[in-house]
């Protein structure tokens, strides 16, 4: 019985901070690449549609999410795409400071990082979720653990994401107006 109580205590103490984290909306996206003259920062309201708190690893009324974020979850690739432009895409969440809020700051905080590969000739995009040992794996999984079938894998990007990001990558000055 003591072992059970100890295990339960350890689980509670280690997960409590995660449970208390605010699940804020996406309020900023940055895109970085050697192909770009400088990082792109996007802060307009359109970024809210790319909510990291959707898709596998998220639950609503006990049902796991199957759609959302920037990934076409049903279209996992067996191999990484080659010969394409690669971008690091960082998602920042915002938090409103209220009396009952667990927020410590009104500044956006880094919540999730993926890699995006884009083929300008076909318009196809692909998303990689960093896996175990990857640079951003711990950050990502501390927010959402999507599972073994997702972490460390490439997927086709969702059409909404491709449509949103394509003109920004093609003309980084477009982002400056956003």
Question: Could you report the per-residue pLDDT of 44-59, keeping only the tens digit for each?
Answer: 899 999 999 999 998 8
Residue 144: which pLDDT band, with cuts at 50, 70 and 90? confident
Position 175 pLDDT exceeds 60:
no
Distance (Å, whole) CA 128 – CA 76 = 10
- Rounded to two decimals, the pTM is 0.78
Backbone angles phi, psi at 55, to 5 degrees: 95, -175
Whether residue 166 contacts residue 55, with contact meaning beta carbons closer than 8 Å, is answered with: no
Which pLDDT does position 106 carry in this prediction? 65
Question: What percent helix, strand, coil does the chain show, rounded to 5?
Answer: 25, 30, 45
Token pair 């059409």: residue: 159
- Alpha-helical (H) ranges within the chain are 2-20, 137-143, 159-170, 172-176
Position 101 pLDDT exceeds 80:
no
Residue 147: which pLDDT band, with cuts at 50, 70 and 90? confident
Token pair 């692909």: residue: 126
Average pLDDT over residues 52-67: 91
Average pLDDT over residues 81-93: 94
Which pLDDT does position 150 carry in this prediction? 92
Which two three-digit tokens encode residue 147?
């599972």
Which pLDDT does position 19 carry in this prediction? 36
Which pLDDT does position 174 carry in this prediction? 59
């Amino acid at each position: 019985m003591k072992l059970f109580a100890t295990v339960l205590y350890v689980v509670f103490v280690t997960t409590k901070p995660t449970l208390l984290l605010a699940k804020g909306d996406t309020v900023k996206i940055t895109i970085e690449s050697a192909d770009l003259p400088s990082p792109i920062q996007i802060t307009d309201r359109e970024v809210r549609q790319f909510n990291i708190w959707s898709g596998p690893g998220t639950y609503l009324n006990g049902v796991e999410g199957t759609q959302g974020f920037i990934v076409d979850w049903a279209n996992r690739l067996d191999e990484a795409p080659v010969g394409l432009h690669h971008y690091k895409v960082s998602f920042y969440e915002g938090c409103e400071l209220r009396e009952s809020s667990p927020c410590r700051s009104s500044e956006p905080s880094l919540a999730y990082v993926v890699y995006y590969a884009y083929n300008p000739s076909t318009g196809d995009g692909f998303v990689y979720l960093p896996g175990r040992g990857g640079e951003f794996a711990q950050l990502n999984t501390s927010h959402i653990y999507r599972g073994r079938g997702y972490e460390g894998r490439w997927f086709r990007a969702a059409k909404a994401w491709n449509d949103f990001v394509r003109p920004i990558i093609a003309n980084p000055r477009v982002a400056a107006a956003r």
